[in-house]
Structure 1
Amino acid sequence: MSKYPAKAKKKIIVLQKIADHVYTEKEINAILKSIYEFDYATLRRELIDYGFMKRSNDCTKYWKE
């Protein structure tokens, strides 16, 4: 996928597929860049905002709630 979906339903599908593992920030960035290289930070933020993932206070670990 080279373009991040605009519709919320499609975003949720993409985000759910990502959020089933504990990742380091480097790992999550690499995965997200492969999905949407132009704004992977938005994907990372939305994983947190939509409640699919949590992150440590120092932002070094990301995991599914």
Structure 2
Amino acid sequence: MILGKIAMRTRWKSLSEVEFERLLDAVRTAVAPAPEEDFLTYPSTFNQPATPANDNQLGLPLIPFPEGWYAP
């Protein structure tokens, strides 16, 4: 309702401070997240960390740089 009144003005004029605050309140209300009931009905619990999908239980071998080479 407030936004419509402001948008339908026939000639442009500056908003008063009260109109500006009402407009901000309307926008805040429109974009505010809706409260969710029982967002986490059952809290997440983890007994052990998840294993990676490609876990083959082998560590990568250490391959040293050739003589005279270095990492930047």
TM interval, shorter chain, is under 0.3
| Structure whose CA Rg is larger | 2
Q: Relative contact order (C-alpha < 8 Å, sep 6+): which is higher? A: 1
Tell me the TM-score normalised to structure 1 length: 0.20
Query: Under a length normalisation based on structure 2, what TM-score does the superposition of the two structures give?
Result: 0.19
Structure 1 or 2: larger helix share? 1
